[in-house]
């Protein structure tokens, strides 16, 4: 690096070894000098030839740099009279502000850096959501994923790229994929839907964000399950909706309690197949009550069906959407839990008269979903790999669930109670009196155990203390080892308590 | 299909040829009968053996169906006393509501189907945004895309799938990709950024939606260019922001006008490299004024850099972000315009102190971006294919721009004026007095010409009438043919006017 000073001009630093081209270095050097007033408005620049000589360069990078500085308005070329620093530039603050390079400076820590209130209120990342070891929630058994099949399908479509797959698509997604999803939902979930109603999204979270913006205005009330899914509440908060927590019992969301708290709510967000996090499924009676309330009040129901595919004691439950005779249900599903999360493909089943509204909201948020992976997943569904994978995973998760439930029963003493283990990829251990779930979760995270505190899933005061433990992403030996470590964590917390 | 009536039970329809399994047909048939009160609460069901005989089936599907109906709460098994219709089900409306199958019914057209006001106010799809022929906006030259190279990279990564690429990732995206993007922006756009600041998104639209939620609350003012990008306004509307239209002249957004209209605005949304739709680039003087206003007022600047890569008369302009010494600029870029739209990959360069806020907002809207395509695109950038493609496309678009501009000059008479053709993939033809751009655009769409009316880009009253014509996605012969048809459209409109 050498600093060259040209008579009457400030020095600029040139580095011939740098990846940044010389013209760019000259351009940036003089631009900085102009902005910082080391070169004054109206000051005459030397000729490019003279400057090139002075800098010991060929004339070309100097010409390019000047052309750029003229194009951007830092310099002005006056016909036949040379090149001048532009006289129209506003004066800059004398302190120049913080230096713009590096991440370490104090830039931006100061005054006047207010972000939106809605983003400040969003939940911060929590220690128990960080890792992928035992007992992280929502993790699929990645090691059992049929890599070879998926590789083959990706390669197949990589060799079949067409212009149609490269252009902007429908805000609802790739039609063959939507047809495959509609077929799957009709056959396995007893749903009433056509491909036209399937909007492809990046997963449940985007689905909830789109539903929230399409259905709710700031201040509108929506029932949410309590305890319930933190991500769902965040999506509703972003839309400015007022969340009305409604208690959940053994039959799912208590519809009568919802009606007494907020009869005029515009919508309800529920997880009928497998309540998050308690794991109960909503009873037929509650389902019908909920549909009836929605019909009579003109309200919407968002059915988050995030992991209904894995049920261990009975066949998969029919979706609430299939019972709905008034098209009040927005059904949300995802492939993240069944296949793998980084796929980022899910769907909303939209009532026919809401298709245009959802298309507008989607276009304003995200234009359309990427086509390539939809094409590969269409074949995965159509060729039977998906159904086979679900069956294999159901057996796998049943083993892992047994490892976790048996391990917990053996390790933990009186007062602990396992609930919600009939389906899905997580269960809940309710804690005996005196134990605080957040305290355990934080201590567990320090030994790389990701136990989510049940109390964190409550809006407001928690009625129960417990740990939500995932078993999808870990092998049975990992789970057993995790249970032993968890037992130690709990024992040391109890031990700490009994000491004087 | 046969309808079987069991003594004392309503008929259910069974179809042995159907793809729907028999147990599912039995389940759905009795579920419907229970919901519709053809089976009454408390009514006793026959034994599964008797029912199987009656239906002429093996007992297994009947057992499975009953198990499912019991699991979902439609039936209750009383130990030693048989199976009964659940007595806890609420009565249903007697009209039963509209039938739930098919898209053709009037379901949902009625009362109580209110969607959000914000979604109602979003712009409806317009005829000129429909097609991909001449002169659609924002379309890349798909036929020149290096398919073979991209196929090779996709295949390579299809054969290298790792668990890390399948799991949930950072809400900011795949780190190697973020590093490649940061290198690219530093080298070619004179930006100051590190990989930690790059948030990968699905494109400019999602970037704007995330910026809007992170920075603005409902009612907050934001300057927008007038005329400007309709999609940007839609993203701001979704967040409830109050859009303040600020006029654009030959130097870009008029900062002084912005200050006089809304000095306390929280942010400004600008397209400094290539104003959308007028095509001017923001002068150095205006850039510095804008940065100074933002610094002094504690406001944010969203720099939408949607198609800066293709500049024909000079080198690509430095980004506004690179001038910003106070970290006020959120820089938004996309690969949709340079490569192909269905890729759905773009980025936001986030000031370091805003990283946590953006991560929270992103997680609430969309968790994280898909990993596979980021991995393939990383190699595309690192191995030089991207730089090569940009150079090739610049030549290609220069040809197409010449075909369009020359064709228009030859075809259109006095009073037409071409502006904004120094960069990008579209230009603007201002119309002579008396011609209405929407009238031309609608007539053009009927002959499959997609000419966007300039007046549509204005918030409120349009100052100018013109046509925004894209040339990226069409060959020179297609463009010349399109110009001839456009001339006929305009001539027939003028002819229609002069007739009595």
Per-residue model confidence as pLDDT tens digits over B318-343: 899 999 999 999 999 999 888 998 99
Q: Are residues B313 and B424 in the same domain?
A: no
Chain B residue numbers touching A216 (CB-CB < 8 A)? 116
Q: Are residues B287 and B306 in the same domain?
A: yes
Q: Is residue B138 part of a domain?
A: no
Tell whether B113 lies on the interface with A, counting CB pairs under 8 A.
Answer: yes
How far is residue B335's CA from residue B346's CA, in Å, rounded to a whole number? 6
How far is residue B377's CA from residue B369's CA, in Å, rounded to a whole number? 13
Q: Could you report how far apart the first and last alpha carbons of chain A are, in Å?
A: 66
Within 86-105 of A, beta carbons closer than 8 Å to B belong to 86, 88-90, 92-93, 96-103
Q: Give the number of A-B residue pairs with CB atoms closer than 8 Å.
A: 413
Q: Are residues A367 and A480 in the same domain?
A: no
Residue A288 confidence (pLDDT): 94
Number of neighbouring beta carbons within 10 Å of residue A58:
10
Q: Is residue B305 part of a domain?
A: yes
- Chain B: closest CA distance from residue A403 (Å): 23
CB A426 within 8 A of CB A467: no
Q: Are residues A368 and A450 in the same domain?
A: no
Residue B28 structural domain: 2-85
Q: Is residue A133 part of a domain?
A: no
Q: Report the predicted TM-score, pTM, of the whole model to 2 decimal places.
A: 0.88
Tell whether B146 lies on the interface with A, counting CB pairs under 8 A.
Answer: no
Q: What tokens does A1 get? A: 């690096």
Q: Give the CA distances from residue B300 to residues A307, B159, B267, B270, B286, in Å, rounded to whole numbers and listed in that order.
A: 40, 43, 4, 11, 15
CATH code, domain carrying A490: 3.90.1150.10
Q: Is residue A131 part of a domain?
A: no
Residue carrying structure tokens 């408390």: B42
List Cβ<8 Å contacts ≥24 apart for B17-25.
Answer: B19/A187, B20/A186, B20/A187, B21/B61, B22/B57, B22/B61, B23/A315, B23/B60, B23/B61, B23/B62, B23/B64, B23/B65, B23/B68, B24/A187, B24/A190, B24/B65
Chain A residue numbers touching B324 (CB-CB < 8 A)? 100
pLDDT averaged per 10 residues, chain B (length 500): 56 79 87 83 86 86 89 85 84 47 39 89 86 88 93 95 86 95 88 95 96 96 97 95 96 97 97 94 94 96 90 79 94 93 95 96 92 95 93 92 95 90 91 95 95 95 95 94 96 75
Domain boundary among B356, B383, B410: B383
Within 43-72 of A, beta carbons closer than 8 Å to B belong to 64, 67-68, 71-72
Q: Is the ipTM of this complex over 0.95?
A: no
Tell whether B243 lies on the interface with A, counting CB pairs under 8 A.
Answer: no
Q: Are residues A260 and A338 in the same domain?
A: yes
Q: Is residue B278 part of a domain?
A: yes
Closest partner residue to B325 (CB to CB) among A97, A124, A214 is: A97
Domain boundary among B336, B364, B383: B383
Task: Supply φ then ψ for residue A137, to 5 degrees.
Answer: -85, 145
How far is residue A492's CA from residue A495's CA, in Å, rounded to a whole number? 5
Q: Are residues A246 and A363 in the same domain?
A: yes
Closest partner residue to B167 (CB to CB) among A111, A132, A150 is: A132
pLDDT of A197 above 90: yes
Q: Are residues B115 and B152 in the same domain?
A: yes
Pick the closest to residue A474 from A98, A220, A140, A78 (CA basis): A140
Q: Which residues contact A183 (CB under 8 A, 6 or more apart)?
A: A381
Tell whether B384 lies on the interface with A, counting CB pairs under 8 A.
Answer: no
Mean pLDDT of chain A: 89
Q: Is residue B483 part of a domain?
A: yes
Q: Could you report how far apart the first and last alpha carbons of chain B are, in Å?
A: 66
Domain boundary among B357, B383, B409: B383
Q: Are residues B53 and B181 in the same domain?
A: no
- For residue range B348-406, what is the model confidence (pLDDT) as tens digits? 999 999 999 999 999 999 988 889 999 999 999 999 999 999 989 999 999 999 999 99
Within 249-288 of A, beta carbons closer than 8 Å to B belong to 251, 266, 281, 283-285, 288
Interface-testing mutation among B25, B30, B60, B72, with chain A (most A C-beta atoms within 10 A): B72
Helix, coil or strand: residue B261? helix
Q: What is the mean pLDDT of residues A188-195?
A: 89
Q: Are residues A339 and A408 in the same domain?
A: no
Total of domains in chain A: 3
Helix, coil or strand: residue B224? strand
Chain-chain contact of B167 with A298 (C-beta, under 8 angstroms): no
Tell whether B448 lies on the interface with A, counting CB pairs under 8 A.
Answer: no
């Amino acid at each position: 690096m050498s600093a060259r000073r040209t008579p009457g001009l400030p020095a600029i630093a040139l580095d011939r070894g740098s990846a940044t081209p010389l013209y760019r270095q000259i351009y940036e050097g003089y631009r900085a000098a102009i902005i910082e007033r080391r070169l004054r408005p109206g000051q005459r620049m030397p000729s490019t030839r003279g400057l090139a000589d002075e800098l010991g360069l060929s004339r070309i990078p100097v010409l390019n740099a000047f052309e750029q500085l003229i194009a951007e308005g830092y310099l002005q070329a006056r016909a036949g009279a040379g090149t001048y620093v532009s006289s129209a530039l506003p004066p800059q603050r004398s302190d120049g502000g913080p230096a713009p390079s590096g991440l370490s400076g104090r830039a931006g820590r100061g005054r006047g850096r207010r972000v939106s209130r809605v983003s400040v209120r969003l939940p911060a990342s929590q220690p128990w959501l960080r890792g992928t070891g035992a007992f992280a929630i929502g993790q699929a058994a990645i090691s059992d994923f049929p890599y070879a099949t998926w590789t083959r399908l990706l390669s197949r479509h990589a060799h079949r790229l067409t212009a149609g797959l490269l252009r902007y698509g429908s805000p609802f997604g790739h039609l063959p994929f939507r047809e495959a999803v509609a077929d799957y939902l009709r056959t396995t979930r007893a749903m009433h839907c056509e491909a036209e109603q399937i909007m492809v999204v990046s997963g449940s979270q985007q689905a909830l964000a789109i539903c929230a913006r399409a259905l709710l205005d700031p201040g509108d009330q929506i029932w949410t399950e309590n305890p319930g899914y933190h991500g769902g509440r965040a999506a509703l908060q972003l839309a400015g909706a007022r969340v009305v927590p409604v208690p959940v019992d053994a039959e799912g969301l208590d519809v009568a309690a919802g009606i007494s708290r907020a009869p005029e709510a515009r919508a309800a967000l529920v997880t009928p197949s497998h309540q998050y996090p308690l794991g109960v499924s909503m009873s037929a009676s509650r389902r019908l009550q909920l549909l009836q309330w929605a019909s009579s009040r003109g309200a919407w129901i968002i059915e988050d069906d995030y992991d209904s595919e894995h049920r261990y004691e009975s066949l998969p439950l029919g979706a609430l959407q299939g019972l709905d005779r008034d098209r009040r249900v927005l059904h949300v599903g995802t492939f993240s839990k069944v296949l793998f999360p980084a796929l980022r493909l899910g769907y909303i089943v939209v009532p026919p008269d809401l298709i245009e509204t959802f298309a507008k909201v989607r276009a304003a948020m995200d234009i359309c979903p990427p086509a390539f992976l939809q094409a590969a997943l269409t074949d995965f569904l159509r060729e039977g790999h998906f159904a086979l994978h679900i069956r294999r995973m159901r057996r796998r998760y049943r083993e892992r669930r047994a490892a976790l439930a048996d391990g917990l029963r053996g390790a933990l003493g009186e007062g602990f109670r396992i609930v919600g283990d009939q389906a899905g990829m997580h269960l809940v251990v309710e804690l005996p009196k005196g134990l605080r779930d957040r305290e355990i979760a934080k201590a567990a995270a320090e030994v790389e155990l990701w136990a989510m505190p049940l109390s964190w899933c409550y809006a407001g005061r928690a009625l129960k203390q417990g740990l939500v433990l995932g078993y999808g992403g870990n092998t049975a030996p990992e789970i057993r080892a995790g249970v032993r470590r968890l037992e130690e964590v709990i024992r040391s917390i109890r031990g700490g308590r009994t000491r004087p």
